[in-house]
Amino acid sequence: MAGSIALSGTQISYIGNDCREIPEYIGKTYGHFAKRLDLSFNQLRSLSGLNMFPELEELIVDNNQIGNDVRLPKLPHLHTLTLNKNQISFGTHLLGNEACPNQLVSPDKDEDDYQRYRYFVLHKLPQLKFLDTRKVSRLEALEAQARGEYMKVVKPKRDGASSEANVDSNPLPYTPLPRGSRDARNHRGLFTKCRYVYYGKHSEGNRFIRNDQL
C-alpha cells in the first residue's frame, strides 16, 4: 500500500510511513527532478534506490534504522546529508547515533571525545563541508586526513568489580546509618554518653536526615 507523499516543487517528502526500503515508484515518478528528499521517521535499513535520484542535492533520513553497512550511490549534486537518530556507530562506541558522543545522554563524554569523533568521521568522509551543523575548518580537515583513522575511542571494560560493588548489586534505599544497622533483623544498638549539645535548626545532623526517615 502506497504511503503519503508530499510534493512541493522539487522537494519530495515521504515521512512516517514505516517503510523498510525506498519505494521504487517514488524513484520512477519523482527521481528525475527531485532535489530534496525527506524520508524521516520510517524504518529504512538501507538506501538502495537512491541511484534513481541523480539531481538530488539534499537527503534527510533522520529517525530510521540505518546502520554501518549503509551504501550511498554516486550523487554528484548532493551537498547535505542528514542522518540523525539512526544506528550508526562506525565500529566505535551524526547526532543521536552511537558514533556521536553526546553529553546529554552520556555524562562521561566531553568535548575531546566529540572532537575525536569529528576527526574520525571526516577521515571516512573527506568531502564533508558541515558535520552536525558545524562547518568543517581547513585545519580540521588536515588533522582528520593525518590522524583521523586512529581516533576511535575504546575504553576498557570494568571486569574487576570490587567485592563491595558485588555486595550492593541490589542496594537498599539510602540511609546514613552504618551497614550493620540497615537490616532490622540484624539490629545493633549502642548506648553511651555524648558531649554534643543539640541546638535545634542549627544542628548539623539535620542536614543528612531526609523527611521520610524522621
The answer to whether residue 42 is domain-embedded is yes
The answer to whether residue 169 is domain-embedded is no
The answer to whether residue 186 is domain-embedded is no
Give residue 116's domain range: 89-153
The answer to whether residue 4 is domain-embedded is yes
The answer to whether residue 110 is domain-embedded is yes
- At 152 the three-state DSSP class reads coil
Q: Name the nearest CA neighbour of 14 among 2, 27, 5, 23.
A: 5
Which of 87, 116, 135 is where one domain is finished?
Answer: 87
Which of 102, 129, 153 is where one domain is finished?
Answer: 153
Would you state the cell numbers that stand for residue 193, as one nine-digit string? Answer: 554518653
CATH number at residue 24: 3.80.10.10
* 42 and 97 both lie in a single domain: no
How many domains, the chain? 2
Q: How far apart are CA 165 and CA 183, in angstroms?
A: 18
* 9 and 83 both lie in a single domain: yes
Question: In this predicted structure, what is the pLDDT of residue 166?
Answer: 47
CB < 8 Å & 24+ apart, contacts of 77-84 = 77/35, 79/129, 80/130, 82/58
Residue 20 is classified by DSSP as S
The answer to whether residue 211 is domain-embedded is no
Buried b vs exposed e over 175-209: b needs ≥16 C-beta within 10 Å?
eeeeeeeeeeeeeeeeeeeeeeeeeeeeeeeeeee
Q: Which one is predicted more confidently, 52 or 206?
A: 52
Q: Which one is predicted more confidently, 189 or 113?
A: 113
- The Cα-based distances of 65 to 8, 81, 87 in angstroms read 26, 15, 6
Question: In this predicted structure, what is the pLDDT of residue 92?
Answer: 46
Largest CA distance in the chain: 90
Question: In this predicted structure, what is the pLDDT of residue 70?
Answer: 82
* 24 and 74 both lie in a single domain: yes
The answer to whether residue 80 is domain-embedded is yes
45 pLDDT higher than 50: yes
Which of 33, 54, 87 is where one domain is finished?
Answer: 87
* 146 and 102 both lie in a single domain: yes
Residues 6+ apart with CB under 8 A from 10: 33, 34, 35, 36, 55
* 63 and 94 both lie in a single domain: no
* 5 and 82 both lie in a single domain: yes
* 33 and 107 both lie in a single domain: no
* 147 and 83 both lie in a single domain: no
* 96 and 139 both lie in a single domain: yes
* 121 and 141 both lie in a single domain: yes
- Dump the DSSP string for 50-92: GGG-TT--EEE--SS---TT------TT--EEE--SS---TT-
* 52 and 100 both lie in a single domain: no
**What would the pLDDT profile of 81-116 be if each residue is shown by its tens digit?**
888 888 877 644 465 566 566 655 566 667 788 888
Cross-strand pairs, 12: 7, 37
